[in-house]
Structure 1
Amino acid sequence: MGTVRKQLRPWGALVVAAALTFGSDGFGQSEEDLAARRQAAQDLADSAFDLLQKERYSAAAELFDKADETFHSPVFVVYQAEALEKLEKYLAARRLLQSVVDEKLADYAPDAFREAQDEAKDRIAALDERIPTITVEVAGADAGTQVALDGSPFAGRLGEPLQVDPGEYEIEVTGPAGRTDRATLEVAEGDREVVALDVSAPGDAIDSVPTEPPSEGDGEGGLPPWILPTIAYGIGGVGLIMGAAAGGVFLGKQSELEEACENDGDGDPKTCPSEQQSEGDSVKTLGNLSTAGWVIAGIGAVAGTVLLFVPIGEQGSVVSVELHLGPGWAGVGGAF
């Protein structure tokens, strides 16, 4: 501890003697009482220092505390904080050091006391780098949300770091309607941990709800169930329009062709003049188109209905519908 340690070791020469001479503890007491307290504080501090050197930190901290109670000296408090720091009781050590910094010293206080304050300031700055912190963030929190650290009320504020000693901690939060969430974590020296908990109502935070990827059996990669039926009905609608339109033209052309064949003067209504051959081919094509359109319309309606009511990809299977068209014919095939 630098200068403070040099001043602390010769107890009777400076520290206790200075406290005896300048400290407020001695006001209103007899010389005999002051001498007795000085000697007791000196003995306790000597024993505490020896224990500190032997790394018996718990016993050293206890004796330094008793020495300070017997006769107060900021130097004793700084050494007590050192012993606690060795035990990784950082928060208790910091509180003691802060009490030394905050102490109002009299103008006639010895230099050892002021040096102890300077040492305490330096130790606090170093400790703040080593003391771990926990920051608790809670989704869905309201004004009544309660946070507990190891069963006790959380001393910090949500979203702000709280200093803690190294160790394992359990954090539990209770939010609206009694919804709870908890986490267990272990923090080491210098850690800066952030704990995210959630007490929002189901459906409040859609982004936080994990979505499962489509299974391997979903042949369409997870398309919405209405997509395929809509496509099938759309194709059927196109076929219906095509069949109706081609059928209307077919009937008109066919009537004209029959009239031309009946009036060709050969007496046979079933035979047509050669100049009407292209017209006959056109009528035949229109008839095929009309038939195909009606077939497509029927297939679309059937496929759309099947796709609408039969689950796709159930037990690894996929519903498929195939359309087959050829000159003068049409067909449909599928697997369900």
Structure 2
Amino acid sequence: MSSEPLAETMTPQQTTKSRARRGRRWVACLCAIGAGLTAALAGGGAARAEDKAGAVALFREAGELIDAGQPARACPRYEESLRLYDSINTRYFLADCYERIGKMASAWAHFLEVAARVRASGDREKEARARERAAAVQPKVSRLTVVVEDASTPGLEVKRGGTPIGPGQWGVPMPVDAGTHVIEASAPGKRTWTARVEVGPGGATSTLVVRPLEDGPASGDAGGAGAGRRTLALVTGGAGIVTVGVATALGFAARSRFDESSAFCNGDRCDRRGMDIRDSAVARANVATVVFGVGLAAIAGGGVLWLTATSPTKGASVGLTPTVGGALVRGSF
């Protein structure tokens, strides 16, 4: 049956009822959506209320620390209180705390932020107070100028304390808190450059020059691997030389021990004491021989590593297996 005959058989009353049912369903859906949004907003409001309560507690604790003459401990409380709940009052007292501990740039910025916000609210008295504090702090704000010599380096990024310094700030005296600042410059294919600069208090100015970055090792370059292999060669060869020295000392000790048996022997005929001494000497000599062989093998392995250090293709592998009376060196290139 086509849709047209069906439409013809539907009376106006039936059409009205159908529309009414659809309308009720839409109202029910909207109510459900509204209820969900209300619940979500209620949950968010509860979370914000908890944050605000925590912010108030931290604000009070910070005030007590200020009264106790401990602003260095109070400032982190104010900072966390402001993070939990952004209050103009908290921001003002944080700026005051920064001024107390000598962070003049941070204090100046927060006083100006407070002035701008209270101006928007129409409180001229608080705005004037915040601007007075900012004006009093401004002459004490220290500044740092970061000069970048090769600003055209592709992908160059300069950071201060991990925060990017945009090109617009290069060569401009920027307000900073007094103290030590770490400047880092990096770019693709270049070696990272890092420097520390000390900025004095009381409105001091400092300048740091970022030199052109040096080229870094090319990707996939065998030079780095070769240098590492040469270092390994020196370590292995050095260990071999030390081992040979130890083996030589053991050999002399064995010889000295063998000589002690002369008092108890007549040629190759010895009593029990003489035989024990000679057995001990032979055992030491055997150990010396094994150690000497291991040392020689290590020296040989170090030589192999050194000679193959510059090979850009297949790497060299050296295996060292102690054997009776020496050692076996196995290598592949």
TM-score band w.r.t. shorter chain: 0.3 to 0.5
Larger fraction in helix: 2
Structure 1 or 2, whichever has the larger Rg, is 1
TM-score if structure 1 supplies the norm length? 0.38
